[in-house]
């Protein structure tokens, strides 16, 4: 039996030209396997690993430099392994889009024209070369004297190298630091609830092909 | 005893089976069926549900009034999510899954005083994501929001706008609203 160089499809040779049954078996199995891989690839395009975490309780006493920490899984799809209860970038090499939305409201009187800022930070996995969390996105605004709170939203894409090649952001946890110069601490609200999300866009070659 | 492949059930003969014209016909037809199935999957991957609607100035919004933004231009829609002739303030989900929705609003506030503005994304009337600024005053402004939604067939996504201040109404200078499927239901 001979085989084509790229797809490994069989054809009969001088030594086995009468082995039709074997030929059809080899060809059928190879076609089956190749098409199954192609179909899985197509299915993965419209079924990206995705997870959304939210918070069902108000977080209070958020001083300058505090981290939002109370999150639970709201929903997910096709995540690699079990979805962590804390927001995390999945351990897949490639591009991810991540986002954070939170409503921050003063726990007391607003200090007029003070800033509010959120930093979306990805921490490195255990064993990574650097142990310093990496801030990937930031949003900031100013609270006037309306005392109605400010909704902040940070979103964007980041690249991770996955577990095969540890980097600062491979499969790292997502943290959200809050910075402000309000005189008193801030609270979150549940309308809408604080939300963090991560969805896999694809590996580098696919991104290049699409663009 | 003929056997079949594990994924697409392509029939092939085993030792001792009689091979005739039907054997080759079945084999070829089964491969054709497998190719057709992959083609369907390819088409679905390249045409994920995706819609975008826009507005360029027909709507005005009174101050301190939460308002669904209305749209009159369908940029594209490959899954019947937009029906602007019937409901011009929504995208209606036709295929269940997780969607990324995004809205952008640029208001014309040159004749009014704006103390805050907010744009939100709602699902069946419940606001899920919101972006608000209070740091602009009496300026033409723009604001953007994005988020993920777990949607069932028939769910309604809307872009919602609210501004506070005085005067007005504020005109919608330009606005975009889109939703696209990113994952299938678990």
Cβ–Cβ below 8 Å for B186 and A148: no
Reduce the DSSP state of residue B35 to 3 states and report it: helix
B96 touches chain A (CB under 8 A): no
| Polymer length of chain B | 186
Cβ–Cβ below 8 Å for A77 and B116: no
The string of pLDDT tens digits covering residues B54-105 is 998 778 888 889 999 999 999 999 999 999 999 999 999 999 999 999 999 9
Q: Any residues with CB less than 8 A from the CB of B178 and at least 6 apart, and which?
A: B50, B51, B52, B53, B75, B91, B101, B102, B103
Cβ–Cβ below 8 Å for A46 and B184: yes
pLDDT value at residue A168: 40
Distance CA A13, CA A33 (A): 22
What angle do helix axes A20-45 and B21-46 make, rounded to 10 degrees? Answer: 10
Tell me which range, A58-67, B52-61, B166-175, is most confidently predicted by mean pLDDT: A58-67
Which of B5, B127, B148 shows the shortest C-beta gap to A29?
A: B5
Cβ–Cβ below 8 Å for B146 and A36: no
Distance CA A135, CA A123 (A): 9
CA-wise closest residue to B133 among B122, B119, B149, B146 = B119
**For B38, which residue in chain A has the nearest alpha carbon?**
A39
pLDDT value at residue B30: 96
A119 touches chain B (CB under 8 A): no
Shortest Cα distance, chain B CAs vs residue A129, angstroms? 32
Give phi and psi for B34, each to the nearest 5. Answer: -65, -40
> DSSP for B8-33?
T--EE--TTPPP-HHHHHHHHHHHHH
Reduce the DSSP state of residue A163 to 3 states and report it: coil
Distance CA B7, CA A75 (A): 30
Q: Any residues with CB less than 8 A from the CB of A170 and at least 6 apart, and which?
A: A91, A93, A124, A125, A128, A160, A161, A162, A163
Instruction: Name the band, by pLDDT with cuts 50, 70 and 90, for residue B117.
Output: confident
Distance (Å) of CA B82 to CA A45, B92, B175: 23, 7, 15
Which of A21, A33, A146 shows the shortest C-beta gap to B17?
A: A21
Question: Counting one residue from A and one from B, how many pairs have CB atoms under 8 Å apart?
Answer: 157
CA angle B127, B132, B134 (to 5 degrees): 150
Whether the predicted pLDDT of A84 surpasses 70: yes
Let me know: does B29 contact A31? Beta carbons within 8 Å: no
pLDDT value at residue A18: 81
Give exposure, B14-46, as e/b (b: 16+ Cβ within 10 Å).
eeeeeeeeebeebbeebbeebeeebeebeebbe
Distance CA B92, CA B158 (A): 9
Torsion over CA: A179, A180, A186, A187 (sign): negative
Whether the predicted pLDDT of B142 surpasses 90: no
Cβ–Cβ below 8 Å for B27 and A46: no
Q: Any residues with CB less than 8 A from the CB of B14 and at least 6 apart, and which?
A: A21, A25, B1, B2, B3
Q: Name every chain B residue with its beta carbon within 8 A of the beta carbon of A27.
A: 12
Which of B17, B128, B181 shows the shortest C-beta gap to A46?
A: B181
Let me know: does B159 contact B119? Beta carbons within 8 Å: yes
B173 touches chain A (CB under 8 A): no
Cβ–Cβ below 8 Å for A49 and B183: yes
* Joined tokens for residue B151: 């949607």
Distance CA A152, CA A80 (A): 29
> DSSP for B72-84?
-EEEEESSS--BT
**For A99, which residue in chain B has the nearest alpha carbon?**
B147
A83 touches chain B (CB under 8 A): no
Rounded percentage of chain A residues whose pLDDT exceeds 70: 84
Let me know: does A196 contact A174? Beta carbons within 8 Å: yes
Give exposure, A119-151, as e/b (b: 16+ Cβ within 10 Å).
bbbbbbbeebeeeebeebbebebebbeeebbbb
Q: Name every chain A residue with its beta carbon within 8 A of the beta carbon of B134.
A: 141-144, 146, 148, 150
Model-level pTM? 0.88
Q: Which of A78-87, A118-127, A146-155, B109-118 has the lowest mean pLDDT?
A: A118-127
CA-wise closest residue to A72 among A60, A87, A58, A59 = A87
Q: Name every chain B residue with its beta carbon within 8 A of the beta carbon of A192.
A: 120, 127-130
Cβ–Cβ below 8 Å for B3 and A25: yes
What is the interface pTM, i.e. ipTM, of the complex? Answer: 0.87
């Amino acid at each position: 039996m001979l085989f084509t160089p790229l797809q490994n499809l069989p054809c009969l040779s001088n030594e086995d030209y009468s082995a039709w049954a074997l030929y059809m078996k080899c060809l059928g199995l190879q076609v089956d396997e190749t098409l199954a891989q192609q179909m899985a690839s197509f299915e993965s395009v419209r079924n990206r690993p995705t997870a959304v975490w939210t918070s069902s309780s108000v977080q209070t006493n958020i001083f300058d430099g505090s981290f939002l920490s109370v999150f639970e899984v709201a929903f997910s799809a096709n995540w690699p392994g079990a979805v962590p209860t804390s927001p995390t970038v999945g351990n897949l090499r490639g591009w991810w889009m991540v986002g954070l939305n939170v409503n921050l409201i003063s726990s007391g009187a607003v200090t007029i024209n003070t800033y509010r800022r959120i930093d979306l930070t990805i921490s490195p996995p255990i064993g990574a070369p650097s142990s310093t969390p990496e801030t990937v996105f930031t949003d900031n605004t100013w609270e006037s004297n309306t005392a109605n709170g400010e909704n902040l939203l940070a979103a964007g894409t980041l690249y991770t190298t996955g577990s095969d090649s540890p980097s600062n952001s491979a499969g790292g946890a997502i943290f959200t630091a809050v910075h402000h110069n309000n005189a008193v601490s801030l609270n979150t609200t549940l309308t809408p609830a604080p939300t963090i999300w991560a969805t896999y866009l694809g590996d580098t070659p696919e991104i290049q092909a699409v663009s | 005893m003929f056997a079949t492949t594990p994924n697409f059930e392509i029939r092939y003969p085993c030792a001792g089976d009689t091979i005739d014209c039907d054997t080759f016909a079945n084999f070829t037809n089964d491969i054709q069926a497998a190719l057709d199935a992959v083609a369907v999957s390819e088409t679905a991957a390249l045409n994920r549900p995706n819609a975008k609607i826009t507005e360029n100035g027909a709507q005005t919004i009174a101050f301190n009034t939460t308002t669904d933004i209305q749209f009159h231009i369908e940029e594209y829609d490959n899954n019947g999510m937009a029906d602007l002739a019937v409901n011009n303030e929504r995208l209606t989900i036709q295929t269940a899954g997780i969607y990324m929705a995004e809205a952008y609003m640029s208001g014309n506030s040159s004749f009014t005083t704006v103390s805050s503005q907010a744009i939100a994304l709602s699902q069946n009337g419940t606001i899920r994501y919101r972006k608000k600024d209070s740091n602009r005053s009496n300026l033409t402004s723009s604001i953007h929001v994005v988020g993920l939604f777990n949607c069932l067939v028939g769910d309604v996504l809307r872009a919602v706008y609210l501004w506070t201040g005085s005067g007005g109404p504020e005109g919608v200078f330009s606005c975009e609203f889109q939703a696209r499927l990113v994952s299938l239901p678990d």
